[in-house]
């Protein structure tokens, strides 16, 4: 996996997580996970805008984590990681924190997964789709960017995070750019035996920009 791609994905996610409004008292710092990236890579190769059904089947999305979330960004032509993550964060305008609901006309689940406080691992992949993106209006020269997350967010009835001053509910963690940080939790996870998903080739499109 390209080191610059990994760096850019984690930086963009943590930047937006660190500046949520209202502020978050329990927002974890996110770090990279190779197993989640492997799953994202395999699904990006399908050139689909729909969610990976394997995420709901225990053991098929990750060999360790039991729950895996997913955000997908599709576009005609090339894109940057900044474009994709910003598009997800911009759904914040459709979300009411006090009611914990999206408005009736727009979705906001990609925003709530992005800022889910207890999610601390991510893995992403990008793929060029010359024949278009299934499930979208893009019929040729499309790009798809997939990020997987664990533990997953968007749990029914729960807000994405606890409201409060940054890091005040971090426990023994230290505060890192308004995020709860703990070195052992943030170590790069290695893929372990047990998962049933398959490795595929992957090449990011404008990923490091």
pLDDT at 54: 87
> Does residue 194 have a pLDDT over 60?
no
Start-to-end C-alpha separation, the chain? 16
The residue whose two tokens read 């606890």 is: 162
Three-state DSSP state, 150: strand
Distance CA 100, CA 185 (A): 28
Q: Where are the alpha helices (DSSP H) in 51-207?
A: 81-89, 109-114
> Does residue 58 have a pLDDT over 90?
no
Tokens representing 22 are 């209202």
pLDDT at 209: 33
Distance CA 3, CA 6 (A): 5
pLDDT at 142: 94
pLDDT bin (cut points 50, 70, 90) of residue 104 is confident
Structural domains of the chain, with CATH: 3-181 (3.40.33.10)
> Does residue 177 have a pLDDT over 70?
yes
> Does residue 103 have a pLDDT over 50?
yes
Query: Half-sphere exposure (CA, 13 Å, Cβ side) for 27?
Result: 29
Higher pLDDT, 143 or 64: 143
Overall pTM surpassing 0.85 (yes/no): yes
pLDDT at 191: 38
pLDDT bin (cut points 50, 70, 90) of residue 1 is low
pLDDT at 119: 98
Mean pLDDT computed over 181-200: 55
């Amino acid at each position: 996996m390209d080191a610059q791609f990994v760096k850019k994905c984690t930086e963009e996610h943590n930047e937006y997580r660190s500046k949520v409004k209202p502020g978050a008292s329990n927002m974890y710092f996110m770090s990279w996970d190779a197993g989640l990236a492997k799953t994202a890579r395999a699904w990006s190769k399908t050139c689909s805008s729909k969610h990976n059904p394997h995420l709901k089947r225990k053991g098929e999305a990750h060999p360790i984590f039991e729950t895996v979330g997913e955000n997908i960004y599709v576009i005609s032509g090339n894109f940057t990681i900044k474009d994709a993550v910003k598009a997800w964060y911009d759904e914040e305008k459709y979300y009411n924190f006090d009611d914990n609901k999206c408005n009736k006309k727009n979705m906001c689940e990609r925003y709530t997964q992005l800022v889910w406080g207890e999610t601390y691992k991510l893995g992403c992949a990008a793929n060029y789709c010359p024949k278009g993106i299934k499930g979208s209006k893009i019929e040729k020269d499309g790009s798809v960017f997939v990020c997987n997350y664990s533990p997953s967010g968007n749990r029914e009835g729960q807000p994405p995070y606890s409201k409060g001053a940054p890091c005040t509910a971090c426990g023994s963690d230290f505060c890192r750019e308004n995020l709860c940080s703990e070195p052992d939790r943030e170590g790069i996870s290695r893929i372990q035996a047990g998962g049933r998903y398959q490795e595929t080739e992957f090449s990011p499109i404008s990923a490091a920009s």
